[in-house]
Amino acid sequence: MDDCLLIANTSLNHGEYSYALLWYRYCLLLTAEQHDTHQFVKDQIREAEIEHNAKFMVWGPGEFIYQHPVTPDNNRQVPLDTTFAKGCRGEHVQFPGWWHLKCHVDHRGSPFLLLQPIRYEQLHYDPELYIFYDVISDAEIGAIKSLSKELVRILTSL
């Protein structure tokens, strides 16, 4: 509830009165049992409505968003255990068909790679995602970094 109230206060302070009203109304639902906090939220709603209406009189209706009332039907929490959410958090996600993924050592038809085949790992099959290991040596990475630093220095001094 504190986070919702913080978002509402921040929206109000930044002049986003429509968003502030939405968040305050949501806080009002959450604070039904807490009389002091409930009254505070009601006062904040009145203040936000006054500011909102004053802005409405100056700017007109084009500056405002459509407001959906918060009801139990549209007040659903987004689940945090979806595959997408887990992937965004960096958690290891096993998806259907993960056991078909493989690690390979291959020359990929290149005569240069016959002497030292390339190692790569398939991370996903649709879309195809691979990690190639030891493609560039540490010395080559250092040379690229030093060349790019010199180029950045030259370009920023122009």
In DSSP notation, 43-70 reads HHHHHHHHHHHHHHHHH-GGG----PPP
Average pLDDT over the chain, rounded to whole? 76
CB 71 within 8 A of CB 51: no
At position 107, the amino acid (one-letter code) is H
pLDDT digits (tens, 9 = 90+) for 89-127: 667 666 666 566 678 888 878 888 888 888 888 887 778
- Among 65, 80, 78, which Cα is nearest to 17's? 65
Q: What is the pLDDT of residue 155?
A: 82
Helix 2-13 and helix 17-30: axis angle, to 10°? 160
Distance CA 49, CA 8 (A): 13
Q: What is the pLDDT of residue 29?
A: 84
pTM of the model: 0.35
Q: Which two tokens stand for residue 78?
A: 């987004």
88 pLDDT tier (thresholds 50, 70, 90):
low
CB 60 within 8 A of CB 48: no
Task: Please give the average per-residue pLDDT across 30-37, as a whole number.
Answer: 80
pLDDT digits (tens, 9 = 90+) for 133-142: 888 888 999 9
Residues 6+ apart with CB under 8 A from 28: 38, 41, 42, 45
